[in-house]
Amino acid sequence: MAKTAREEAQKNIAENRKAFHDYHIIETFEAGIVLVGTEVKSIREGSANLRDSFARLEDGQVWLYNVHINAYSHRGYSDHEPTRKRKLLLHRQEIRKLIGKTVEKGMTLVPTRLYFKNGHVKVALALAKGKQTHDKRETIKRREADRETRAAVKERRG
């Protein structure tokens, strides 16, 4: 099975599955990220983690916090702070839109995945609203029901 050109161009590095469990995803944006050389090399080794990360708007710019990128294994004298805040690159109109939306109660910015696109590291940034505990339980129930129906259909066919 051959990969399409689009699948070949986008290679996933890290995903934040917990974000889909904890938040209702309303809209996603693609953002570039400002990194130093050792961070890019470390990401190419596959050592990045998006768990517990979030984005914040400060002075008309978007910053990404708590993304853990391990130190590069073959580093020399240069090194980077693993969880430093990193600037995200978005269009001015997108930043204005995010400022307007995040002012609303309960809205937050959560990175959902980190990936390569045409050789550049990109972040899928989601505008999200926190789920209540009963919403999380409802999602789990729905997922289990879907799994049971798929199993029943498969058993009936086989």
Position 35 pLDDT exceeds 70: yes
For residue 128, pLDDT beyond 80: yes
- The domains located in the chain, with CATH, are 8-131 (2.40.280.10)
Element (H, E) at 30: strand 23-33
- Which residues pair with residue 15 across a beta bridge? 113
**pLDDT at residue number 1:** 46
List Cα–Cα distances, 92 to 30, 96, 141, in angstroms: 13, 6, 40
Say if residue 6's pLDDT is above 60: no
On the question of pLDDT at 138 being above 50, the answer is: yes
Predicted confidence band of residue 7 (pLDDT cuts 50, 70, 90): low
